[in-house]
Amino acid sequence: MYIRLTPLLLVLAVGACNTAPQEAERPNIIFIFTDDHTTRALSAYGSQVNETPHLDRIAEEGMRFDQCLVTNSICAPSRAVILTGKHSHLNGQLTNGQLFDGAQQTFPKLLQQAGYQTGIVGKWHLRSQPTGFDYWQVLIGQGPYYNPRFLVPNDTVRMEGYTTDIITDLALDWLQTGRDTERPFMLMYQHKAPHRGWHPGPDHFEMYADREIPEPPTLFDDYSGRASPAAEQGMTIARHLNVNDLKLVPPSSMNEAQVARWREVYDPRNEEFHAAGLEGDDLTRWKYQRYIKEYLRTVAGVDDNVGRLLDYLDASGLAENTVVIYSSDQGWYIGEHGWYDKRWMYEESLLTPLLVRWPGQVEAGSVSSAMVSNLDFAATFLDLAGVEPPADLQGRSLKPIFLGEVPEDWRTSHYYHYYEYPGYHCVERHYGIRTATHKLIHFYTRDEWELFDLQADPMELNSVYADAAYADIVTELKEELARLRIQYAVPEDERPTGPCIPDERGAPIRNS
């Protein structure tokens, strides 16, 4: 069925022909992307808390990556890493607060030059306008869960309904009627869900109503086994969820009819809660249930909509020559260590889901434990399209791994760097290195270190940095960390820093 072309032949083919049959041989790419979806809320990864049958199809018919690590666990920086294939210090997006420099090289621009149609629909979150796309319709900033306004070239458009459904409708419209069917395409289909706010669609208000979701074993972590920053953050379920997060009031983006429907379901729940008069750990447990159920309901909305998209690909015949990739901008805490949010280099927010389906090429039901990263996505998309990734990209193509072979010189250590401090949730700046067995973290503005033995202590509860038995490993990891910082050309971070004290919502209190 497939004629496999080498990159060189593809370049020749593209150069020689305009609408040649070879064009049809290059695969389409659909990048399905969510915001803040942890692997532990995805049944393809063995979730203990929910089922995601449609996302699971991608894994069942393709490959699941168990070690996909982000370079900087926060929203806009992750998006910039994916677009550029470069670490934050080179693409300029260190934190959510900066404006993405859309003039720089990105993989969508390079795909355009190679004859691909490029599209993006849904969450963009990079403040500057999208560049490198033939078609774009993106949420403004974070965007609401209901009745969103979209940015389009030279205008904005408001649409009524639930955002996850609307984004899917727009993606399906473009696939069906908006694109040139003679050319291959790359579509970024990007959800806002399950980002904070966690407002489910009306179809899912009742989901989980009659069951308790299991608590993680570290819900009441006291952070005693760590360096100082873990205890100073503002992202706890116990103390930093507000009335909007807890659904004690209806979402402000709803219209009157939507609020009426919401009140039918949530008002009785809230009356029951107020009557119970919970305190202490019981109150934290109630907050956890309310938080996790709302989060999982928004995940269910994504899953249903991914099902609609996959069904369309099957029905249209597009599925056969389309690489479908699923990922999220980072991992997330669903109560582990008492937290929501992300940012830390700890496993829950370092790991992100990565599922890949490519019929006839990727073995169905396969699992890879190769240490891969969102740094690799740009090079991968280019390689899939037969475009040689430019030498300045810092990631590597995953295509050989898709096809079943991990290159012998594949990475065995991963570099991480988080910068947004002071900032939301007051998570201290840190960089570090993770190998298959250990993780060394440096909170560099206070020169504090943590070392975790991931085999002996997979939940990372006890730093063994000061343990003499690990002295050789510390030395070895520090050398490797220094080598990676040179390899990736990481400058010293000399921006002014803290202090940072979180308010009751997790926002930093700013003193004049």
Residues interacting with Ca ion, by CB under 5 A? 35-36, 75, 329
Amino acid (one-letter) located at 476:
E
CA distance 49 to 446: 37
Q: Which two tokens stand for residue 60?
A: 């069942």
Report the candidate in 483, 440, 213 with the shortest Cα–Cα distance to residue 346: 440
Least Å distance, CB 409 to Ca ion, is 31
Secondary element (H or E) of residue 492? none
CB closest to Ca ion, residue no: 75
The residue among 35 and 376 lying less far from Ca ion, judged by its C-beta, is: 35
Least Å distance, CB 76 to Ca ion, is 8
The residue among 14 and 120 lying less far from Ca ion, judged by its C-beta, is: 120
Least Å distance, CB 272 to Ca ion, is 32
The CA-based dihedral angle spanning residues 239, 242, 245, 248, taken in that order and rounded to the nearest 10 degrees: 120
The residue among 26 and 37 lying less far from Ca ion, judged by its C-beta, is: 37
The residue among 301 and 359 lying less far from Ca ion, judged by its C-beta, is: 301
Least Å distance, CB 256 to Ca ion, is 31
Least Å distance, CB 36 to Ca ion, is 4
The residue among 40 and 226 lying less far from Ca ion, judged by its C-beta, is: 40
Q: Which two tokens stand for residue 464?
A: 């063994």
Least Å distance, CB 190 to Ca ion, is 11
CA distance 30 to 487: 31
CA distance 159 to 275: 38
**Sheet with 63-65: strands ordered across:** 155-158, 149-152, 135-139, 117-122, 185-190, 28-34, 322-328, 354-357, 63-65, 366-368
Least Å distance, CB 442 to Ca ion, is 24
The residue among 295 and 470 lying less far from Ca ion, judged by its C-beta, is: 295
The residue among 245 and 383 lying less far from Ca ion, judged by its C-beta, is: 245
Least Å distance, CB 35 to Ca ion, is 4
The residue among 79 and 285 lying less far from Ca ion, judged by its C-beta, is: 79
CA distance 365 to 499: 48
**Tally of residues, the chain:** 512
- Partner residues linked to 151 by β-bridges: 138, 156
CA distance 476 to 256: 61
Report the candidate in 47, 48, 69, 75 with the shortest Cα–Cα distance to residue 59: 47
